[in-house]
Amino acid sequence: MVQAHLELPDLSPPPVLVVSDLRKTYRETVAVDGVSFAIPPGEIVGLLGPNGAGKTTIVNIILGVLEPNTGSIRIDGIDLLRRRSAALAFTNFSAVYAALPGNLTVEQNLRVFGLIYEVPALAERIEDLLVRFDLVRFRGAKSGVLSSGEQTRLSLAKALLNRPKLLLLDEPTASIDPSAAREIRDLIRAFAEENASAVLWTSHNMYEVEEVCHRVLFLSRGRVLLEGDPKLLPHEHGAATLEDLFVKVARERLHPEHS
């Protein structure tokens, strides 16, 4: 008697972010060359590579700041190119180069962005974030006079205001002392797990990446060369540490056989 084999349905949750065959060129320069990846709920993915590898371009395309030549992006199932506002309502961002308005106080900045994102119970949410990021004593200070580390903490507080399903972080612990950086890494990990949020994290701090990221993507000249667990990947490719592997990838030259 032949027994039928039933295929069990895939019960894993759909990815929060799906990037498919992304390509971006500037005249003769190819900035992003056929990049594809997905991030499921709760996963923190490191986007690594030397300057000029395409990291910031990819982040800006996901944020809707740049439009790709080809490819698609879906955020929580929504096509970014067709429904930009709806997709970005589930997204937030923090980067050292994206300072918040310096003429507004810490509390005013959080209130303004909270209104933009239509955050429910906004006053309570602001108080929670002021406490979490050690900003209570700065609530009435204009953000432009804060130290670089304090501004970074404010930017991260803003990034969590709307409890985003997709959180984009570009060098999120820059200008922060090691103790505060450790606390922020713990906070982001807990946030991703508790909210089933996907996090895309760019950094040149390989120790930080190994500590916080579940998976990394190594970029070189707009292409993904390597992907895997940051704790295992170096040994799989003959490197002693993640930093050694980073240097190796940074020196990689794409030969014709990689095309």
- The predicted pLDDT at position 254 comes to 41
Count Cβ atoms within 10 A of the Cβ of residue 81 and give its class: 0-12 exposed, 13-18 middle, 19 or more buried: middle
Superfamily of domain 12-90+165-259: P-loop containing nucleotide triphosphate hydrolases (3.40.50.300)
Give the span between the Cα atoms of 6 and 196, in whole angstroms: 30
Domain boundaries, the chain: 12-90+165-259, 91-163
- The predicted pLDDT at position 100 comes to 93
Average pLDDT estimate for 160-170: 96
Encode pLDDT of 13-59 as tens digits: 899 999 999 999 998 889 999 999 999 999 999 999 888 889 999 99
Least confident piece of the model among 7-16, 25-34, 242-251: 7-16
Average pLDDT estimate for 225-229: 94
Q: pTM for this structure? A: 0.88
- The predicted pLDDT at position 216 comes to 97
Encode pLDDT of 77-98 as tens digits: 999 999 999 999 999 999 877 8
Helix (H) or strand (E) holding 247: helix 242-250
Are 170 and 94 spatial neighbours (Cβ–Cβ below 8 Å)? yes
Encode pLDDT of 59-76 as tens digits: 999 999 999 999 999 999
Give the span between the Cα atoms of 127 and 112, in whole angstroms: 14
Match 């922060």 to its residue by tokens: 176
Encode pLDDT of 96-154 as tens digits: 778 899 999 999 999 999 999 999 999 999 999 999 999 999 999 999 999 988 998 99
Least confident piece of the model among 4-13, 144-153, 200-209: 4-13
Give the span between the Cα atoms of 242 and 230, in whole angstroms: 7
- The predicted pLDDT at position 42 comes to 96
Helix (H) or strand (E) holding 32: strand 29-39
Q: How many CB atoms lie within 10 A of CB 152?
A: 25
b/e string for 239-251 if b means 16 or more Cβ within 10 A? beebbebbebbbe
- The predicted pLDDT at position 249 comes to 78
Average pLDDT estimate for 216-240: 93
Confidence class for position 173, pLDDT limits 50, 70, 90: confident
- The predicted pLDDT at position 6 comes to 60
C-alpha count within 13 angstroms, C-beta hemisphere, residue 25: 8
Who contacts 125 (Cβ-Cβ below 8 Å, separation ≥6)? 114, 119, 161
